Amino acid sequence: EHGPDAAVDDLAARTALDARQPELLELIGGTGGTAAVARALTREVVFPRLARRLAVTLLRAVSAGARLRWPASPASSPGQPRCRSSVAAYHDLVRSASELASRVGELADLRGGRPCTPVGWEERFDRLEPLPLLESRLEESASRLSLAVELDSTGLRKSLTELLAVEAEAFATTYRELVPTVWQEGDMPLWPHRVLVPLLSHHRRTSTPQTTVLVVVDAMRRDLFRLVRAGLHSTSGSDLLQLEERTIWALAPTLTGLNMRALTERIVPGVGDLLGEEFPDEAACDRSHALPYAPDGVQLETIPEIAEHVHGSTLSLARLADAVVPAVVARLASIIDRARPGTLIAVAADHGFAEVAGWRPHASSRRWRHGGLDPFEVLVPLGVYQKAWSRSGE
């Protein structure tokens, strides 16, 4: 045992960061390398050991700021069948850690250039949105591979948490400045009480649906929406035509009642209902352009599963997603199956959710919350789709 372990340590130390790394990763996956070296590593069990030591070495390099470039995963190629998946898991862990470190670093470098317009923040959020789920998947993978301590030593979670806090503060400043536009016409965010009627009216004119269904998924933030959309594509993709997808701005505080009324009934909030710094006088708030309404032919469906988990769960984001996304996909698939061909189906969220600041395992009973100004609560998805017409044209 001493001999192979010492040889593995030496090989990992000598090859971890040099130009032979891609060749070594191919070798330990059984997809390449010289026969002489392969014969020297006489047992398959050495391959995962070597991959683990490489992972530890490379995670240390990530914590030191190294930017690593990775070849394709050896899991996609033929190789030693009993060790291939284990080797690939270590390989993918480090690749994901390096990718996350790179993305966090790039966004941190842009701190001085934060946007101050709705479009600017939506574009910035496109880059910010995938990071929490990527980090959470990374933690889950590291835990399975018994590398949680090594991953934690990279400081990636700490760096991401700090970045998200700074971004949230900057976003809140912009949001408060935009609050008066809730009661104004013109260039503004897509507030929920403004967006649905013109959007559905446009697609009803161009798509001539027989019926329209509005599905509101409570607390569906955008990263979960992407997972739901992918799951839906695998189950009902051939039946659904995407017409439009947009980002809408939930009203803050991001409470279900406030945003559901705005989204489904077009009820404009009063000045005292919203978070902000400078409000217009109540008398100056024109609410006549958005009176309560019940749109003809629109069937409302609500899906509460995400919110139910958010309110009491201490699961990681990755595990929460794994728990709720299949249920949401199943509910949506059922709605689509019941709908007649040609039905217009709008899917929207009333608000999202964010992690409780400073949350620590066993130190807080609630990990997730909404009701504030975090971009993961405010910037939420709206998609408009149409169920495919049958070949008979019914």
Residue 250: strand, helix, or coil: coil
Same domain, 162 and 189: no
Write down the H helix ranges in the chain: 2-15, 21-28, 35-40, 46-63, 84-109, 118-128, 131-144, 148-153, 156-178, 192-207, 222-236, 256-265, 305-310, 317-338, 375-378
Three-state SS annotation for 92-117:
HHHHHHHHHHHHHHHHHHCHHHCCCC
Same domain, 162 and 191: no
Q: Which pLDDT value is given to residue 187?
A: 64
Domain boundary pick from 166, 197, 223: 166
Record the tokens describing residue 26, joined without a space. 């191919």
Same domain, 201 and 334: yes
Task: Determine, yes or no, domain membership for 200.
Answer: yes
Sort 211 into a burial class: Cβ within 10 Å, 0-12 / 13-18 / 19+: middle
Same domain, 11 and 105: yes
Same domain, 109 and 231: no
Return all residues near 19 (Cβ < 8 A) that are at least 6 apart. Answer: none
Same domain, 130 and 246: no
Residue 191 has, within 13 A of its CA and on its CB side, a CA count of: 26
Same domain, 371 and 287: yes
Pairing of strands 344-349, 212-217: parallel
Amino acid at 375: P
Rounded distance between C-alpha atoms, residue 32 and residue 260, angstroms: 57
Task: Determine, yes or no, domain membership for 17.
Answer: yes
End-to-end Cα spacing for the chain: 72
Same domain, 248 and 343: yes
Same domain, 271 and 361: yes
Same domain, 79 and 118: yes
Task: Determine, yes or no, domain membership for 267.
Answer: yes
Same domain, 119 and 152: yes
pLDDT digit string (tens) for 180-237? Answer: 888 877 667 899 988 888 888 888 888 877 789 999 999 999 999 999 999 998 886 6
Sort 138 into a burial class: Cβ within 10 Å, 0-12 / 13-18 / 19+: buried
Same domain, 310 and 192: yes
- Cβ–Cβ under 8 Å, residues 306 and 328: yes
Rounded distance between C-alpha atoms, residue 220 and residue 225, angstroms: 6
- Cβ–Cβ under 8 Å, residues 240 and 336: yes
Rounded distance between C-alpha atoms, residue 378 and residue 172, angstroms: 10
Q: List 346's β-bridge partners, or say none.
A: 214, 384
Domain boundary pick from 107, 135, 166: 166
Q: Which pLDDT value is given to residue 165?
A: 92
Return all residues near 388 (Cβ < 8 A) that are at least 6 apart. Answer: 238, 239, 240, 241, 341
Rounded distance between C-alpha atoms, residue 37 and residue 34, angstroms: 6
Q: Which pLDDT value is given to residue 231?
A: 93
Task: Determine, yes or no, domain membership for 392.
Answer: no
Sheet holding 298-303, edge to edge: 240-249, 379-387, 344-349, 212-217, 298-303
Q: Which pLDDT value is given to residue 1?
A: 38
Task: Determine, yes or no, domain membership for 175.
Answer: no
| DSSP-assigned letters across all residues of 302-333 | EE-HHHHHHTT----HHHHHHHHHHHHHHHHH
Task: Determine, yes or no, domain membership for 43.
Answer: yes
Domain boundary pick from 107, 132, 166: 166
Task: Determine, yes or no, domain membership for 26.
Answer: yes
Domain count, the chain: 2
Rounded distance between C-alpha atoms, residue 132 and residue 314, angstroms: 15
Residue 28 has, within 13 A of its CA and on its CB side, a CA count of: 29
Q: Digits of tens for pLDDT over the chain (394 positions)?
A: 344 456 555 655 655 555 555 555 555 544 444 444 444 444 456 677 777 877 887 788 777 776 665 555 544 444 455 566 777 788 888 888 888 988 998 888 876 677 888 999 999 999 999 999 999 999 999 999 999 999 998 899 999 999 999 999 999 999 988 888 888 776 678 999 888 888 888 888 888 777 899 999 999 999 999 999 999 988 866 688 999 999 999 999 999 999 998 888 888 887 777 776 555 544 444 444 444 454 566 899 999 999 998 888 889 999 999 999 999 999 999 999 999 999 999 999 999 999 988 777 666 678 899 999 999 999 999 999 999 886 554 4
Domain carrying residue 374: 185-387
Q: Which pLDDT value is given to residue 270?
A: 79
Task: Determine, yes or no, domain membership for 177.
Answer: no
- Cβ–Cβ under 8 Å, residues 362 and 156: no
Q: Which pLDDT value is given to residue 290?
A: 45
